[in-house]
């Protein structure tokens, strides 16, 4: 996956499957709740 594509999607709060334990490099998932400050570990 081109780095520019990954950066563009991650900049819009998508999670890229290429960063998962079981790689899925063609997978982008919209998960804005993962970026919410209240949902982050303390």
**Which pLDDT score is estimated for 23?**
87
SS3 content of the chain, % helix, strand, coil (to 5): 45, 15, 40
pLDDT tens, N- to C-terminus, the chain (42 residues): 899 999 999 999 899 999 988 889 999 999 888 877 776 666
Q: Is the pTM of this model over 0.75?
A: no
**Which pLDDT score is estimated for 40?**
60
Query: Which sequence spans correspond to the domains of the chain?
Result: 3-39
**Which pLDDT score is estimated for 9?**
93
Structure tokens at 33: 């709740």
DSSP state, residue 18: G
**Which pLDDT score is estimated for 22?**
87
**Which pLDDT score is estimated for 39?**
66
């Amino acid at each position: 996956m081109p780095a520019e594509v990954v950066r563009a999607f991650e900049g819009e709060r998508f999670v890229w499957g290429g960063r998962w334990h079981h790689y899925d490099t063609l997978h982008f998932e919209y998960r804005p709740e993962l970026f919410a400050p209240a949902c982050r570990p303390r």
